[in-house]
Structure 1
Amino acid sequence: MRRNTSISLLAMGHGCVDIYQGAVAALVPFFVSERNYTYAVVSGIVLAASLLSSVAQPVFGVLTDRWAMPWLLPVSTLLSGVGIAMSGLSGSYGLTLFCIAVSGIGVAAYHPESARVARLASRGSHSAMGCFSLGGNIGFALAPLMVSAVMGRGSLRCTPVLVLPALVGAALYMPVLRMLGRSQAGMFRTEAPRGADDMASFLKLSLAVVFRSIVFTGLSTFISLYAQQRMHDSATAGTVALFLLFLGGAVGSVLGGALANRYHRVHVSRWSYLFTVAALIGVIYIPGPAMFLFVALTSTGLYVPFSLQVTLGQDYLPTRIGTASGVTLGLTVSAGGLISPLLGHLADSTSLKTALTPLIAMPALSWLLFRALPEPVTPKPLYVASATASARQGA
């Protein structure tokens, strides 16, 4: 299977999984309206999706460093979909949290292994990794539209319909699994000498990703409700704001990969965070429909460095690529969900505008951390010969 084909399948499967990350935020207004949850209580749902995922992704990363587990791709995709599909069937808050947590574990199991396989299939190409990330961003962007369409025909009891993308995603990975099972043709590995890990830079990078995560999770949790308030309780305004937040991520991923082919990843990421500070001020304080433009700009700024941070982490820890992927795609990204309940409490006691204001400082802190990061030298990929090539050599 050619590189473009495998990356395309991985990207589409990534989209099917990340629909369920976006679906959590998209379901928040329905939990508020149908079950009368407060901001603080509904933040607990976001926390449930993040907490187990935060802990589990590095664990799965360590496991994938020791053993290749491509079978996790379809299995974790199904698990993430089943959890969301079951989340609306019970009025019990505890069971709802459990179902959301199950989906979070599925997402946690998926990302380290998929990032490892995508890095191999991309052969070190920033654009290919950007394409892989783009698939996830498109999934995020489609989530509010899909949830709105499904919920618009009924209530939270319609959530079982949301399992369909998981079924599609699991099917998409079958050709990838067959490719991996037949041979290692087209796969690459990275030569990483012992002692090559730059743990200090990796920790700074991880902290920068945490601050980014706080911004994105806070916005994805509350931007729909905030837009409704700003636009005279318009439910459509909330859906549009969430869609633009996720769609801007797709634009940012493509732009980040293209820029990284011309400039250093650290340099691109640093300037994107500085741009995000200004855009976020516009989201919170600029009145009227211009808010929607700033939502899209903020999301673009947050996602330009997204795939670049994954490959930076892998290059800072070249002997532990799975662990690096688990942290940059999992632990640090999910950490933002831990802050959501605090924002919810602040919003309940003051206002959503007041609660969102501290988020402005987060990309500024990421910018400061990136100023202290070096651009790593990317190890050269070594081609792992196919069975056919090996046989030809033996002849």
Structure 2
Amino acid sequence: MSHSTASLQSITKNVPIYRRAIYTFSASHFLNDLVTTGMVPALIVLYKEALHLSFTESSLIVLISYITSSISQPFFGMVTDRKPRVWLFSAGVFASIAGLAMTGIAPSFGWLLFFIAISGLGSGAFHPEASRGAHLASGTHKGHAQAIFQVGGNAGQAFGPLVIPLLLVHTGLKGLLWLIPLAILSIPLTAQMLGWMNKQVKAAAAKKKEITGKNNIAGAIQLIAVIILRSWCQLGVVVFLPFYMSHLSIAASETLNFVFVGAGALGTFIGGIWSDRIGLKRLMVGSMLVATPVAMLLPYVNGFWTVVILLIFGFSVLASFSVTVVYMQKLLPKNIALASGLSIGAGVGAGGIGSVFMGSVADIFGVTAVFTILSLLPLAGALLAFFLPNDRVSTPTASS
């Protein structure tokens, strides 16, 4: 380790988490992902019925939502690494919520996709700046802080399906317009942190020259592949579980989705804390190795045991969610916003592409075949993660 690196690490040693900032970022992440990754997949059944869509067309809605967010996140990350624009933190949350609200009055499939794209772009603008803010507020507790931030998003994703019956039971899709007041309320929540973010970003820019580490492009590409496999599995379960459990009511199947994603939110939080102790790579490989054998039991259980399997499955699949963000920031220490955009955006976009592929599989072979594929994806991800660079080797502390 070089003298300059050691000096930088000594400066940042034992810096506590700025909890007010972290919990604000987490709350805003909850609102953003409540409507994007939470409600959009859960609304597919209703969009399909209202507009008489095929499985493939229905999956295209998820693709548009996730691909716009995925493509834009790294772009926003690159732009804001050069010149931070902290106002995107507030504007992004507003656009993601308001865009989905407008789908409630979309007159056609084309308009529906347009409003979904607006929501996805809002999410894409939000994530890099919010994740950078969480990084700056984390002190030396990167895994723990990132876990708090990410668990907000995963909790939003978990509660998204539960909001559907609440909003739509009496009003139909027009009930989504009730999200507009929520979009307005998101402005004061997020705006309170903009002054602090501006100050921290300027301070980080002054320290950036002290970072001696180099970006590990090959490792970042390998990690993106792991994230893609995990995302295909995660989103595939969320989208196709209601169809797989077609013998149940929509409310019952969406409750099972809540169990899966809610367990994932818990896994995200605990996984982030554990990763600070045992290492990022060990946590990632171990958690995904658990997921496959558990998932393969799903077709053979029912009732209470279905809930148990989904609890363990969700926990293990998403235990590495915040871990991959921190891992990417270690691999790309000179481009923190880009690292955040890639680690979150790659998963979001890949999940959308995977949902269309799985929709085609479902149309041809049936939904049961989809779940067979989904159960094997974590195993493939674990094997690939095993060959990632060792995160336990000392690396420079990234400050921006």
Provide TM-score, normalisation by structure 2: 0.89
C-alpha separation between the residues in 2 aligned to 1:243 and 1:256?
Answer: 19
Alignment of 1:80-95 (within 5 A): 80-95=96-111
Partner of 1:388 in structure 2? Answer: none
Deviation, 1:139, is 1.0
Partner of 1:39 in structure 2? Answer: 55
Distance change >3 Å, CA 199–CA 121, structure 1 → 2: same
Of 191, 195, 207, the match for 1:178: 195
Partner of 1:304 in structure 2? Answer: 319
Partner of 2:211 in structure 1? Answer: 192
| AA aligned opposite 2:186 | G
Of 276, 282, 307, the match for 1:261: 276
C-alpha separation between the residues in 2 aligned to 1:356 and 1:170?
Answer: 40
Deviation, 1:27, is 0.8
Partner of 2:154 in structure 1? Answer: 137
Of 19, 25, 45, the match for 1:4: 19
Partner of 1:115 in structure 2? Answer: 131
Deviation, 1:378, is 4.1
Worse overlay, 275-284 or 136-145: 275-284
C-alpha separation between the residues in 2 aligned to 1:183 and 1:14?
Answer: 20
| AA aligned opposite 1:370 | A
Partner of 1:208 in structure 2? Answer: 226
Alignment of 1:320-339 (within 5 A): 320-339=335-354
Deviation, 1:151, is 0.7
Distance change >3 Å, CA 83–CA 307, structure 1 → 2: same
**Conserved 8 A contact 1:123-1:381:** no
The one-character-per-residue Cα deviations of 1:95-127 (angstroms, maximum 9, x if unpaired) are 101111111111111111111111011113111
Give structure 2 stretches of 5+ with no counterpart: 1-16
Of 268, 271, 276, the match for 2:291: 276
The answer to whether 1:223 aligns with 2:241 is: yes
**Conserved 8 A contact 1:148-1:239:** no
C-alpha separation between the residues in 2 aligned to 1:374 and 1:28?
Answer: 39
Deviation, 1:153, is 2.0
The one-character-per-residue Cα deviations of 1:21-46 (angstroms, maximum 9, x if unpaired) are 21101211211333332222211110
| AA aligned opposite 1:205 | L
Distance change >3 Å, CA 325–CA 182, structure 1 → 2: closer
Of 241, 244, 254, the match for 2:256: 241
The one-character-per-residue Cα deviations of 1:33-92 (angstroms, maximum 9, x if unpaired) are 333322222111101101222211111110121111110011011110111001121240
| AA aligned opposite 1:260 | S
Partner of 1:286 in structure 2? Answer: 301
**Conserved 8 A contact 1:209-1:333:** no
Size of the alignment, in residue pairs? 379
The answer to whether 1:168 aligns with 2:185 is: yes
% of aligned pairs identical? 29
Give structure 1 stretches of 5+ with no counterpart: 385-395
Deviation, 1:147, is 1.9
Of 293, 318, 336, the match for 2:333: 318
| AA aligned opposite 2:333 | P
Deviation, 1:187, is 6.7
Deviation, 1:162, is 2.1
C-alpha separation between the residues in 1 aligned to 2:295 and 2:181?
Answer: 34
| AA aligned opposite 1:20 | V
Worse overlay, 276-285 or 76-85: 276-285
Deviation, 1:186, is 9.0
Partner of 2:64 in structure 1? Answer: 48
SS in 2 for 1:249: helix
Deviation, 1:203, is 1.2
The one-character-per-residue Cα deviations of 1:296-351 (angstroms, maximum 9, x if unpaired) are 22211121111110010010111111211111110233212112122112212232
| AA aligned opposite 2:237 | L
SS in 1 for 2:277: coil
Worse overlay, 345-354 or 95-104: 345-354
**Conserved 8 A contact 1:53-1:331:** no
**Conserved 8 A contact 1:13-1:170:** no
**Conserved 8 A contact 1:245-1:299:** yes
C-alpha separation between the residues in 2 aligned to 1:118 and 1:291?
Answer: 35
The one-character-per-residue Cα deviations of 1:236-290 (angstroms, maximum 9, x if unpaired) are 2212112112211210111112211210110011000001112221334433442
C-alpha separation between the residues in 1 aligned to 2:343 and 2:200?
Answer: 29
Partner of 2:41 in structure 1? Answer: 25
Worse overlay, 26-35 or 372-381: 372-381
Worse overlay, 25-34 or 53-62: 25-34
**Conserved 8 A contact 2:99-2:115:** yes
**Conserved 8 A contact 1:310-1:328:** yes
Alignment of 1:137-156 (within 5 A): 137-156=154-173
Deviation, 1:128, is 1.2
The one-character-per-residue Cα deviations of 1:188-230 (angstroms, maximum 9, x if unpaired) are 9664226x11122111111000101111111111112222x2x
SS in 2 for 1:375: coil
**Conserved 8 A contact 1:253-1:305:** yes
**Conserved 8 A contact 1:73-1:170:** no
Distance change >3 Å, CA 152–CA 127, structure 1 → 2: same
C-alpha separation between the residues in 1 aligned to 2:236 and 2:285?
Answer: 21
Partner of 1:380 in structure 2? Answer: 397
Distance change >3 Å, CA 181–CA 271, structure 1 → 2: closer
